[in-house]
């Protein structure tokens, strides 16, 4: 009864709670929010100064009393209170200008595969404390497969590689479950750190995190391209302490990220080795699909295909695959109830 009452005032939402970005799907409206998982906090007052894109612009530019915090590390909550503030902000933003104390949506949240019971509880509690009346969790590779319209409920092998900011989820899916899967703590953020370390060691230049990310997106490649890329970057000279600029090539970025890319490739091979032969046959026929922001790394799909001998492609709009899946599950909850990690009873307000 209460459930139906709150539904009158709420739009149910699907949330991809990522290390780098939070994406939110609103019932009947599609993907309405895609913002960085960043919160700016005033240490003197304890007040949240900014959330999302506004907070991301402050990275590396704040005075001492303002901290820019990423409350999710490697796909799981590292700062519970800040995550709660962030979720609350996004849920209210979806319902503006009609947000009120009666706004209590049902929420489907995508989480990394293989997270612990404690980590699941943290996500569930954060969402509930942010105003959700009921919370359902789904593993991100499953949500991504649903989002790109794979037949996950049928007895057919579907292989997804979800490469986000903090983790890479690799899974073979059949009959509504993960048959074989692996969660690697190697993804976009690791690539950024690789670039920062490489430029520091080779050029004696200190780059910021945003500069490294921009460099990766502009000229990062997994395979040698036909046409070379290069980019001018500015940073602090570690010898003189003064600003300096250098030219970085795609070859430099490829060398910097080579070890991390190799870890991902080896992980994909290992998951294939763990998969039953019948499903491997399906995967060879249907191919591997890459989703997540990391799928944008130029040539990565071709490299996976070369290494595994299995056709590999990047999904259309790979960044939103997980949150679109959460939305589809949300709007067809009875059909997809078996793909959820566990059922949660409706939560009544205290």
Segment 223-248, tens digit of pLDDT? 999 999 999 999 999 999 999 999 99
**Same domain, residue pair 325 and 311:** no
- pLDDT value of residue 250: 95
- pLDDT value of residue 95: 80
Find, among 290, 293, 303, the residue nearest to 262 by Cα: 303
Residue list, annotated binding site:
19-21, 165-167, 213-216
The region that residue 104 occupies, defined by phi over 0 for left and psi between -120 and 50 for alpha, beta otherwise, is: beta
Split into its structural domains, the chain has a count of 2
pLDDT over 70, % of the chain: 93
Which segment of 65-79, 89-103, 232-246, 308-322 scores lowest on mean pLDDT?
A: 89-103
Residue list, annotated binding site for ATP:
19-21, 165-167, 213-216
How sure is the predictor about 7, in pLDDT bands with cuts at 50, 70 and 90? low
Exposed, middle or buried, 320 (CB in 10 Å: 0-12/13-18/19+)? buried
Residue by residue, DSSP assigns 74-92 as TTEES-HHHHHHHHHHHHH
How sure is the predictor about 341, in pLDDT bands with cuts at 50, 70 and 90? confident
- pLDDT value of residue 101: 55
**Same domain, residue pair 172 and 123:** no
**Same domain, residue pair 157 and 187:** yes
Q: Is residue 330 part of a domain?
A: yes
Which segment of 104-113, 258-267, 273-282 scores lowest on mean pLDDT?
A: 104-113
Query: How many residues in the chain?
Result: 350
Q: pTM for the whole thing?
A: 0.89
Task: Quote the CA–CA distance of 17 and 283 in Å, as a whole number.
Answer: 28
**Same domain, residue pair 132 and 225:** no
Residue by residue, DSSP assigns 20-89 as SEEEEEETTTEEEEEEES-EEEETTT--EEEETHHHHTTTT---TTEEEE--EETTEES-HHHHHHHHHH
Cβ(106)–Cβ(55) under 8 Å? no
Domain of residue 33 covers 2-143+321-339
Average pLDDT over residues 82-103: 80
Backbone dihedral angles phi then psi of residue 24, each to the nearest 5 degrees: -125, 130
**Same domain, residue pair 293 and 177:** yes
Q: What is the CATH number of the domain that holds 14?
A: 3.30.420.40
Q: Is residue 348 part of a domain?
A: no
- pLDDT value of residue 99: 56
Q: Is residue 345 part of a domain?
A: no
What pLDDT, in 10s, does the model give residues 280-291? 999 999 999 999
Chain Cα centroid distance, residue 173: 19
Q: Is residue 347 part of a domain?
A: no
What pLDDT, in 10s, does the model give residues 15-61? 999 999 999 999 889 999 999 999 999 999 989 999 999 999 988 78
Average pLDDT over residues 267-287: 96
Report strand pairing: 158-163 vs 288-291.
Answer: parallel
Q: Is residue 350 part of a domain?
A: no
Cis peptide, bond prior to residue 97, ω within 30 of zero = yes
Task: Quote the CA–CA distance of 279 and 294 in Å, as a whole number.
Answer: 25
């Amino acid at each position: 009864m209460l459930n139906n009452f709150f539904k009158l005032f709420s739009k149910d939402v699907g949330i991809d709670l990522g290390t780098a970005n939070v994406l939110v799907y609103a019932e009947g409206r599609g993907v309405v929010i895609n913002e960085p998982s960043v919160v700016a906090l005033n240490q003197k007052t304890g007040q949240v100064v900014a959330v999302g894109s506004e907070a991301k612009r402050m990275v590396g530019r704040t005075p001492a009393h303002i901290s820019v915090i990423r409350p999710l590390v490697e796909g799981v909550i590292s700062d519970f209170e800040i995550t709660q503030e962030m979720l609350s902000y996004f849920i209210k933003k979806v319902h503006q200008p009609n947000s009120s104390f009666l706004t209590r949506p049902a929420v489907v949240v995508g989480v990394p595969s293989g997270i612990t019971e404690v980590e699941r509880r943290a996500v569930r509690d954060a969402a509930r404390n942010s105003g959700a009346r009921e919370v359902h969790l789904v593993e991100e590779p499953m949500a991504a497969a649903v989002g790109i319209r794979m037949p996950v409920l049928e007895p057919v092998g579907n292989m997804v590689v979800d490469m986000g900011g903090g983790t890479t989820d690799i899974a073979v899916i059949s009959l509504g479950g993960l048959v074989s899967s692996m969660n690697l703590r190697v993804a976009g953020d690791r690539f950024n750190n690789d670039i920062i370390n490489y430029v520091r060691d080779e050029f004696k230049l200190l780059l910021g995190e945003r500069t490294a990310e921009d460099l990766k997106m502009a000229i990062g490649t997994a395979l040698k391209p036909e046409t070379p890329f290069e980019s001018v970057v500015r940073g602090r000279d570690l010898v003189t302490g003064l600003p300096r600029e250098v030219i970085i090539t795609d070859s430099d970025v490829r060398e910097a990220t080579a070890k991390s890319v190799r870890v991902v490739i080896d992980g994909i091979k290992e998951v294939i080795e763990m998969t039953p032969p019948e499903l491997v046959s399906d995967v060879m026929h249907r191919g591997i699909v890459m989703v997540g922001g990391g799928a944008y790394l130029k040539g990565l799909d071709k490299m996976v295909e070369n290494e595994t001998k299995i056709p590999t492609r990047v999904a259309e709009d790979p960044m939103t695959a997980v949150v679109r899946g959460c939305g589809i599950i949300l709007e067809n909850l009875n059909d997809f109830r078996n793909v959820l990690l566990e059922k949660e009873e409706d939560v009544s307000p205290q």
